[in-house]
Copies of this chain bind each other. A is one copy, B any other.
């Protein structure tokens, strides 16, 4: 206990020769809600820098292949404390270093007197421009990290969640030739569930290859790759016999009636991914899918994601917490919510070779949230 407390204090640079410098929360509170000019010391400062993630393997899904992912690393600093955030921007989603740079340059946090005004700040950021969800998430995550550190609490605890309830996470096997699929599946032997990308034209071969190596439960992510609802349902029945426990986005997100038809007859849960983005979309997919895949880069960050989880629970929808290829920063932020999820798909940091954060651990396939305040990461 002592050690963990010392580590915590050292982390903040708050412990110097045994001296503990404490925050003046009363003055922070007094600042909240007032707009008077304050010294620059007590202004939030947003910084950001582009970075390129190197993927360990060529990553192929139904829509294409790539070997890198551009990200923007953000920090928000206030009163000597730094919160970390990240925007991950797979090219097919339309954001890029250029769009994120342009968006983030418009964000003026100096107009807010306190980071505790999260609702005001994130509403302001939302309204700067439409879209830009990854860029918005990079601010949302950094602000959550900062505020959690100021409160000296990790976010799962602020939300009242039990870190003992984190689910197993799946590890993703991209579309590939049998020898590579076999190799990747062997390398993933510590995971209790695998997510297999289908929709590339070799679906049964993919599954048979995985099954030649392991008998763990499988999730399947089609990324809108199937075209016909009858063939899709036949395939789902076959997949069910192979031990598949959910099917993600089997048809185009626009084929709502066909997906609702499949959902009505599927022996395994059908999960929406591309079909939903923000909290407002939860109601739209309700009735057509059994559950939703929530990703911080889709919805704009932890604030929206937390609302989506609560809406899904209220409506009886299953919840998956997913990610993009990301550093441990955004993946660990998402992990804070995972005690509320039915499934976690938090392997984005494992798919890259140049992570710049330390955060969540996967122990025997299960998500372990670090015992650190904020989103729970250390910058490497």
Mark A residues whose CB is within 8 Å of B: 1-2, 4-5, 8, 24-27, 29-30, 32-34, 116-120, 122, 147, 151-154, 157-165, 279-280, 282-283, 286, 303, 307, 310-311, 314-315, 339-340, 371
Is the pair B157, A29 in contact by a Cβ cutoff of 8 Å?
Answer: yes
Please, which residue of chain B has its CB at the minimum distance from the CB of A119?
Answer: B160
Task: Evaluate whether A34 and B164 lie within 8 angstroms (CB atoms) in the complex, with A5-B26, A27-B1, A371-B29 already known.
Answer: yes
**A153 to chain B: which residues have CB within 8 Å?**
25, 151
A280 — which chain B residues lie within 8 A by C-beta?
314-315
A181 to B119, CA, bound (A): 40
Instruction: Establish whether residues B29 and A162, one from each chain, have CB atoms under 8 Å apart when the complex forms.
Output: no
CA distance A88 to B282 in the complex (A): 34
Q: Can you report 20 A-B residue pairs in the complex whose CB atoms are below 8 A from each other? A: A1-B27, A2-B26, A4-B26, A4-B29, A4-B30, A25-B153, A32-B157, A32-B163, A33-B165, A119-B161, A119-B162, A119-B340, A120-B162, A151-B153, A279-B310, A279-B314, A282-B314, A283-B283, A307-B314, A311-B314
Complex alpha-carbon distance, A5 and B22, angstroms: 12
Pick the most buried of A24, A25, A120, A160: most chain B CB atoms within 10 A of its CB.
A160
Across-interface contacts of A5 in B (CB, < 8 A): 24-26
Which residues of B lie under 8 Å from residue A340 when comparing CB positions? 119
Task: Report A3 CB to chain B, min CB distance, Å.
Answer: 9
Residues on the B chain within 8 Å of A279, using CB:
310, 314
Measured CA separation A259–B293 after assembly (Å): 35
Query: In the bound complex, what is the Cα–Cα distance between A153 and B314 (angstroms)?
Result: 27
